[in-house]
Structure 1
Amino acid sequence: MKLSARNILKGTVVEITTGAVNAIVRIDIGGAVITSSITNAAVEELGLKVGEPGYAVIKASDVMVGRD
């Protein structure tokens, strides 16, 4: 599979929290954890399981920056 996104980060799925429609998936990327909200159907179709490899694919036109 080829993607236009340039930020593809391989990691390990560390948590999947399912709700009524969506799930929160957390992927550990070498100590940093990426969190994503996807549908429960997508979790099932991808066969995501805690402890197994997963990819965070990031494609965004904006990056927000903040400070205290």
Structure 2
Amino acid sequence: MKVSARNNIKGTVKKVIAGAVNSEIIIEIAPGIEMTGIITNSSSERLNIKEGSEAYAVVKASDVIIAVD
């Protein structure tokens, strides 16, 4: 896999929640730490996303906002 985004985080698909059009994909990147992404159902099927399989959370953002209380 080659991708221009610098933030590629490997993990295990913990849960796939399929909706009418999109699927919510929850990836566990470390014990107790999860990232969630929303992709189309057709992309989920094309990538063969299944619970327990390995996947990457690829983050491409021009800004990161930091906040404190």
Q: What amino acid sits opposite 2:63 in the alignment?
A: D
Q: Which runs of 5+ in 2 are unaligned?
A: none
- What pairs up with 1:1-68 in 2 under 5 angstroms? 1-31=1-31, 32-68=33-69
Q: Give the CA RMSD over aligned residues.
A: 1.0
What TM-score do you get using the length of structure 1 for normalisation? 0.92
TM-superposed deviation, 1:59: 0.8
Q: Hey, what's the Cα distance between the residues in 2 that align with 1:63 and 1:3? A: 20
Q: How many residues align?
A: 68
Please list every run of at least 4 consecutive aligned residues from structure 1 whose deviation after the TM superposition is greater than 2 angstroms. 64-68
Question: Share of identical aligned residues, percent?
Answer: 49
CA shift digits 1:35-59 (9 cap, x unpaired): 0010000100000000111110111
